[in-house]
């Protein structure tokens, strides 16, 4: 059994987010002033977390967000970010249009958002398959690296990875103990940061919940499960998996779309 932590963060606010204009993949808008502040706030919140891997969508708003986070991190400032197009936002086929226009297009076609796909857009199933492809790639990468290091000391001890997470996330004593090396659970072999997009994250989390039957914290409400993350919302999952692809990974959700770091900001979205 291989076990790792997966922290997923949505990018900061852009001008078009605020104006409710669809960006998708076709409009590569940079962060707004508020978006940069949100990224810095997320970085301060995560500044003691020891990440072993960092991945990001290759669009401008996610690139700027991940660098804003790493700039504040005490031990990962100089980590190499791996940009992956599989982490991009859904290709809507209606980029540059307002959300109200997309809803009108859907209504005219006799469908409802978000299931409606304009010509040239990605279906929800296609977005889901991109997410699964990236997740399976990530599991295999972590397993191969852990297998190579099995007979050697880790550069970052797994109990340090666990402790750095338990110090800031709302785990509670019973959950926090599961991260410690003296518990019956396998040790964490990696701590991965992923920066992506709202609709993409909702699709990936839906896969965790519906296909992998992810366990959830009792405090998570139904609306939190079905809503799109706020800008720089932070989610943490603990992944357990076997080498064999036939065995489904088990996923524990520690928190979803956390916004603690935004409390002191005067403008959120």
What is the CATH number for 7? Answer: 3.40.50.1240
- Confirm or deny that 61 is annotated as ligand binding: yes
- Confirm or deny that 252 is annotated as ligand binding: no
User: Has residue 108 been placed in a domain?
Assistant: no
Res 174: pLDDT? 40
Instruction: For residue range 92-112, list pLDDT tens digits in order.
Output: 999 999 999 999 999 999 999
Instruction: For residue range 62-81, list pLDDT tens digits in order.
Output: 999 999 999 999 989 899 99
**pLDDT (mean) for 2-9:** 96
Res 245: pLDDT? 66
CB 207 within 8 A of CB 25: no
User: Has residue 240 been placed in a domain?
Assistant: yes
Structural domains in the chain (count):
1
User: Has residue 110 been placed in a domain?
Assistant: no
Instruction: For residue range 129-145, list pLDDT tens digits in order.
Output: 999 999 999 999 999 99
CB 91 within 8 A of CB 122: yes
- Confirm or deny that 101 is annotated as ligand binding: no
**pLDDT (mean) for 136-163:** 77
Catalytic residues: 11, 89
User: Has residue 226 been placed in a domain?
Assistant: yes
Q: What is the CA radius of gyration of the chain?
A: 18
Domain that holds residue 229: 2-93+124-267
- Enter the pTM of the model: 0.91
Q: Which long-range contacts (CB under 8 A, 24 or more apart) does 221-229 make?
A: 224/256, 224/257, 225/256, 227/202, 227/257, 228/198, 228/199, 228/201, 228/202, 229/10, 229/198, 229/201, 229/202, 229/256, 229/257
User: Has residue 146 been placed in a domain?
Assistant: yes
**Residue with the two structure tokens 């978006």:** 35
pLDDT band at 259 (very low <50, low <70, confident <90, very high): very high
Per DSSP, which regions of the chain are E strands?
A: 2-10, 53-56, 82-83, 190-196, 234-241, 250-258
What span, in angstroms and rounded, lies between the C-alpha atoms of 12 and 10? 7
């Amino acid at each position: 059994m291989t076990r790792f932590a997966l922290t997923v963060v949505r990018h900061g606010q852009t001008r078009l987010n605020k104006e409710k204009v669809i960006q998708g993949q076709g409009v590569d808008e940079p962060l707004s002033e508020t978006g940069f502040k949100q990224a810095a706030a997320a970085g301060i919140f995560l500044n003691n977390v020891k990440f072993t891997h960092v991945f990001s969508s290759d669009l401008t708003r996610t690139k700027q967000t991940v660098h804003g986070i790493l700039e504040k991190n005490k031990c990962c400032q100089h980590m190499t970010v791996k940009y992956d197009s599989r982490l991009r936002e859904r290709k809507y086929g209606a980029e540059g249009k307002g959300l109200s226009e997309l809803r009108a297009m859907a209504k005219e076609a006799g469908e409802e958002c978000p299931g409606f796909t304009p010509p040239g857009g990605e279906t929800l199933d296609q977005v889901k398959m991109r997410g699964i492809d990236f997740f399976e790639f990530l599991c295999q990468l972590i397993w191969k690296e852990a297998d190579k290091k099995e007979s050697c000391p880790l550069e970052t001890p797994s109990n340090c990875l666990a402790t750095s997470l338990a110090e800031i996330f709302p785990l509670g004593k019973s959950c926090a103990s599961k991260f410690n090396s003296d518990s019956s659970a396998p040790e964490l072999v990696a701590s991965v940061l992923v920066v992506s997009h709202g609709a993409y994250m909702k699709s990936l989390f839906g896969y965790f919940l519906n296909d992998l039957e992810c366990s959830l914290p009792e405090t998570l409400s139904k609306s939190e499960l079905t809503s799109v993350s706020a800008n720089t919302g932070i989610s943490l999952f603990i992944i357990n998996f076997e080498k064999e692809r036939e065995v489904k990974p088990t996923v524990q959700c520690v928190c979803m779309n956390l916004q603690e770091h935004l409390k002191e900001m005067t403008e959120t979205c």
